[in-house]
Structure 1
Amino acid sequence: MPGSIVLCVCGGGSGAHALAGLATQKGVEVRILTLFEDEAKKWNRVLQKEELTVVINENNRPPREVTSKPKMVTKDPEEAIPESDVIIFTVPASVHEIYFKAIAEHVGKRTLIVGLPGQAGFEFQCRDLLGEKASLISMMSFESLPWECRVKEFGKRVEIFGTKMYLSGSLIRGKSVTKPPLMTLQKFLGFQPILRQSKHFLETIIMSYSFVHPVIFYGKWKDWDGKAVAEAPLFYHGIDEATAELLQKCSDECTAVASAILEAAPTKANMSDVKDIHHWYMENYKNEIAETGDLFHSITTNKAYEGLTHPMTESSGGMKPDFNTRYLTEDIPMGMVVFRGLADVLGVPVPITDMIIEWGQEKMGKEYLVGGKLNGKDIEFTRCPQKYGFSTLDAILTGEKST
C-alpha cells in the first residue's frame, strides 16, 4: 500500500536514521520530527544534496545498501504530526516527555503511537500527558530497538551491524479504529525482526530487562579505586561470571513479579510470555552467539556485541567511567525504578534490584530509593506507576488513577 501510510519518526539519532531510511524505501511517507538544537536544519542541508543510505550487515552475507529520501525533516510538530497515521519515538526515554508535550495537541484520534523502544512506564506517561486522547489512540511499546546501529554521517549514512530475530511489543488498543498495528510496523522494518505482540503491556515492562546495563556497569566498577585506566574496557564481552550471576538474579526477580501479577489477576494479565534472560538471548541472537551453554557465554560470544566498550570520559592519565551515561541515567529511573514500583505494588521483594538502584543513584547523585521505599527526592523524574497515581494493580491495569 505505497503512499497510504504517513509515518512520523521522532528523533535524530541512529535509530531514527535507520527507521526513516528503511520505511521510506518501502514507499511510506516519512516525516522526521527532531526537537533538539539544529538537527532538523542540519539534516535538511544534507538531504538537499544527498539521499539517506542504510548499510545493512546480515549474517554470513556481504553488506547491502538501501537508499531513499524522507519527505520531511522538521522541528515543528504542527508540520510533522497532523495526518500522521503512526508516530514512532526513537529517542531516549528520558526525553519522551518533551516529545509527548510537543505533539499532544496535534495527535489525531486514530493515531498509533509507538515507543521503539518504549521502555518501562511508556504507557503510564502516555496516558498522563495525552489525557482524554489516550483512550482513543492506540499505543505500542517495544522492548528494544530492532537493530544495533550507528550513524556514520549525520543525515546521510547509518550502518546496521546486527538485527534481532524477534522483537516483542505490547499493544493497548484505543477506542478509535486504526490500521492493523503489527502488520503496519512490520511493513516499515521488512522481514526481520519478526514482530510479536506480547500478551499484556506489563510483560513488556518486565521484559525490558532494564537492569542489564546497570548491572554490567556495577560489575565492572563497584570496586574501582578512582584511578584512570589506559583504555575503555569491553562492555558486554568484558563481563565476568559474577556479573552474569547478578544478571540472572535480576531476571529471577522479574519472573517472580510476573508470577505475582498472574496470581493476583489471572484473567486480566497474561504473563505467559515472560522469559528467563538466558532464554531471551538464545531466541533473539540465535545466529550471533557462538556458545549458548549458559548466560555468561551467550553474552560474551555474541557477535553483535563485538568491540562495544564502556562509556568513558577522558581524564589526565587515561580514561574514567562515565557515570552520566544513559546506561545509568536512563535505565535506572526509566527502567529499574519503574519495575521496582511494580514490585512494590505486588509486595514482591527484589533485593538485587534494590542493590543496583542504590549503587547507581549514588554514582549519579540522585535519590530514588530511600530506606527501602520509593520516596526519594528524584522520584518525580522517573516513570514509576506511583508517580502517575497508579498505586494498585487495578489502577495499573485500567489506567484509572487510585483514589
Structure 2
Amino acid sequence: MNICILGGGNLGTLVMGDIGRRKDISVRLLTSRPDDWNHIIEVCDNDGIFKYSGRVDIISSNPEEVISDADIIISTLPSYMFNRTMQKIKPFLKAGVWIGMMPGNGGSECYCKELIESGCTLFGFQRVYGIARIKEYGKSVYDLGKKKELFIGAIPSCNTTDVCKVIEDLFNVKCNPLANYLHVALTPANPILHTARLYEMFHNYSEGVYWEKMISFYTEWTDETSTILLACDEEVQTLCRRLATVDLKRVGFVKEYFGAETPHQMTAKISNMISLKNIQSPMIVTEEGYIPDFKSRYFMEDFPFGLCIIKSFSEIVGVEIPLIDKILMWFEKVTGVEYYVDGKFEGKDLKNLPLPQNFGINSPEDIIAYYR
C-alpha cells in the first residue's frame, strides 16, 4: 500500500514516523522543502529519548512523483492550505483514492465535492490521533501522547467501516466508525477550544497594550475561558439537536470529551494535561513586550475554518448562536475581515470559505443528502 502525507508539521512528522515502521507500507511526502528532509524519521518521547523510527520512501515537491500511485492520502495541513494543495494534486489522483483529513473539520469535505462525485472516498478523523512537537525539522519529532481510540467519518458513509478497518491496522489503535460525516464536521474541538481561549485572553487588546511575559496557552487556562467554552459548546449542541433527522449524539462535544460539568472542573482538566503543558500562546515579542500574533495558525484557521463553518450550519437550520457571533465579530474587528453586514452573516470575506452555502447546500435536506 502506498500512502502519501500532505504536511510536514508536528502531526505529519509523527504520522510518517509511525506508519513508516511498516515494511508493507510505502510512505511518501509532498513538501515544498524536500531537501530539508531525511528518509528516516526518529520518534522520541517527551524527554527526547529515542523510541523508534520510520522510513519515508519518496520525498518530493512534485505532486506527480508522490500522488499518482498513492492509495491513501492523509492531509495534516492547516485548513487554509488544503484547497490550494488539492488543486495542485487533483490531476494526479488515482481513481477511487481515499483522501483523509486529520482532523476532519475545517470544511475540507466541501472542497472535495467533485472528487467524491467522481468516486473518491473522503474520510476525516474526529480529532487528531496524538499530540506531537517537531524536535528537528525533517528529522525527528516528540511523541507527547496518543489517543486510545479514534472516531472516523467518511463520505460516502457506506465506506466508513472499511476505512476504519484499514486505519485501525495502520495506526494500531481502535477505530470507531461514525454514522455520518457530520459527526466530524460539527465536532467543536479546536474551533471553540482555541477561539474561546483567544477571545478571553485578547478581547481587551488594543494597540499599545503589552504583556510582560508569554502566556502558557493551556497550563494558565482560566475559569473565565471555561465558562465561554462551555457556553459555545452548548450552542453547538443546540445546532445539532435542530438537525433531529440525523443522530448526532456522537459529535465530540467538549463537555463530554473532557468529562467536566462546571467551569472549575473544565479548568482543572485542561490546565493539568501533561501533553499540553509546554504549548505557548500565539504571541510575538516586541521591544515593549508581548502582543498577540494575529497571523498565527490559531487565528488563520480556527475562526474562518472553524467558527464560520459552525455559524453557516446554524444559518441553514435557523439556530441562534449569540456567543459565537460575538466572538466572530471580535475577530472581524482585530483582523479587518468582513463576515457580518448590518448584523447579517453575509460579508464579502465569506465567499471563498468552505461554507456549505457556497457549494449549493442551503437547507437541512441538502445537508442530509450531501453527508449521506
Compute the TM-score of the two structures, normalised by the length of structure 2: 0.92
Secondary structure of the residue that 1:180 maps to in structure 2? helix
Provide structure 1 residue ranges, at least 5 long, that are not aligned to the other structure.
Answer: 284-290
Question: What residue number does 2:132 align with?
Answer: 149
Question: What residue number does 1:167 align with?
Answer: 150
Summarize the alignment of residues 66-145 of structure 1 with structure 2, pairs less than 5 Å apart.
Answer: 66-128=52-114, 130=115, 134-145=117-128
Tell me how far apart the structure 1 counterparts of residues 238 and 266 of structure 2 sit (CA, whole Å).
19
Tell me how far apart the structure 1 counterparts of residues 60 and 157 of structure 2 sit (CA, whole Å).
28
Question: What residue number does 1:343 align with?
Answer: 314
Note closer, same or farther for the CA distance 1:168–1:63 as it changes in structure 2 (3 Å cut): farther
Q: What is the RMSD computed on CA atoms of the aligned residues?
A: 2.4
Whether 2:13 is the aligned partner of 1:23: answer no
Tell me how far apart the structure 2 counterparts of residues 14 and 277 of structure 1 sit (CA, whole Å).
23
Question: Do the aligned residues in 2 keep the contact of 1:23 with 1:188 (CA within 8 Å)?
Answer: yes
Question: Do the aligned residues in 2 keep the contact of 1:214 with 1:360 (CA within 8 Å)?
Answer: no
For these two proteins, the number of residue pairs brought into alignment is 367
Q: Deviations over 1:370-393 (max 9, x none)?
A: 333221111123211111221112
Summarize the alignment of residues 1-400 of structure 1 with structure 2, pairs less than 5 Å apart.
Answer: 5-27=1-23, 28-34=25-31, 36=32, 39-43=33-37, 46-47=38-39, 51-57=40-46, 65-128=51-114, 130=115, 134-173=117-156, 180-191=162-173, 194-209=174-189, 210-224=191-205, 226-262=208-244, 266=245, 269-282=246-259, 294-399=265-370
Q: How big is the shift at 1:272?
A: 2.0
Question: Do the aligned residues in 1 keep the contact of 2:13 with 2:134 (CA within 8 Å)?
Answer: yes
What residue identity is the alignment partner of 1:159? Y
Question: Do the aligned residues in 1 keep the contact of 2:123 with 2:160 (CA within 8 Å)?
Answer: no
Question: Do the aligned residues in 2 keep the contact of 1:334 with 1:382 (CA within 8 Å)?
Answer: yes
Q: How big is the shift at 1:57?
A: 4.9
Q: Deviations over 1:164-192 (max 9, x none)?
A: 233322111389x899211212233223x
Question: Do the aligned residues in 2 keep the contact of 1:144 with 1:208 (CA within 8 Å)?
Answer: no
Q: How big is the shift at 1:64?
A: 5.3
Tell me how far apart the structure 2 counterparts of residues 188 and 112 of structure 1 sit (CA, whole Å).
14
Tell me how far apart the structure 2 counterparts of residues 156 and 276 of structure 1 sit (CA, whole Å).
35
Question: Do the aligned residues in 1 keep the contact of 2:188 with 2:252 (CA within 8 Å)?
Answer: no
Provide structure 2 residue ranges, at least 5 long, that are not aligned to the other structure.
Answer: none
Secondary structure of the residue that 1:211 maps to in structure 2? helix
